[in-house]
Amino acid sequence: MANSAPEAETHYWYSDDAERERSVAVLEAMRTYRAAESAMRRRTQISMGMGENDLLALRYLITAQQDGRSIGPKELTAYLGISSASTTVLLDRLERSGQMRREHSPFDRRALILVPTATTDEEVRAALGDVPERMVEVASHLDAEQAKVVIEFLKRMRSAVDEIDSDVPSEIAPASKD
């Protein structure tokens, strides 16, 4: 890449373009999948075991716990982007099924914190129920090494998505964050 010969440079830019195209194609595939899965859920009303946001909420609480942060209902509500009434219903459900419990904050008796009782990924996964057989089939065709690559990619995509929060007031100019 340090080669400054004109041909090499042309080649460099060419491959850079190709790389960009490749990445865009991957993101496009991701986007199409996302839309297809959402449509399938609407069509079939498949809950995939837990409720739509249960797994997401639980994973959020577990990740926070691993980072040593406590989450209250308000923060969870903001993350999920649902109403606080829906969060209450969701928390009732998780508490009933023994996945999470509400506790008083050690710092503020009036505040509640949400403590996940399933602390490991395996326990969360045990709640993965009703995934259509054929989706599992597709996943089974990857070997452990390939699966790791896809998982890593999906996790990075997820953190890209998770970074976008609702706390940024729209008045802030884009430049102020960079």
Partner 1 sequence: MLFRPTGYGFEVDSDPAQSRDSRPVEARPEHVVELIATLLEYRSAEEAMRRRTGDSMRMGVTDLQALRFLLRAQKEGRPVSGRDLADHLGMTSASVTAMLDRLTKSGHVLRTPHPTNRRSNLITATPGSDDEVRHTLGEMHKRMMVAAHALSADDARMVRDFLETMTTVVDGIDRSPHRG
Residues in 53-72 that interact with partner 1 by CB under 8 A: 53, 55-56, 59
**Cα gap 47→45, rounded to integer Å:** 6
Q: Of these, 3, 8, 27, 69, which contacts partner 1 (CB under 8 A)? A: 27
29-58 positions binding partner 1, by CB under 8 A: 29-30, 32-34, 36-40, 43-46, 48, 52-53, 55-56
Long-range contacts of 94-102 (CB under 8 A, 24+ apart): 94/54, 94/57, 94/58, 97/127, 99/54, 99/58, 99/127, 100/58, 100/61, 102/73
Q: C-alpha angle with apex 84: 94 to 36, nearest 5 degrees? A: 70
Residue 105 or residue 126: which is nearer to partner 1 going by CB?
Answer: 126
Residue 8 or residue 150: which is nearer to partner 1 going by CB?
Answer: 150
What binding mask, one character per residue, do residues 93-122 give for partner 1 by CB under 8 A, x or -?
A: ----------------------------x-
Q: Of these, 19, 92, 103, 108, which contacts partner 1 (CB under 8 A)? A: 19
> Are 135 and 36 within 8 A, CB to CB?
no
Q: Of these, 2, 5, 85, 173, which contacts partner 1 (CB under 8 A)? A: 173
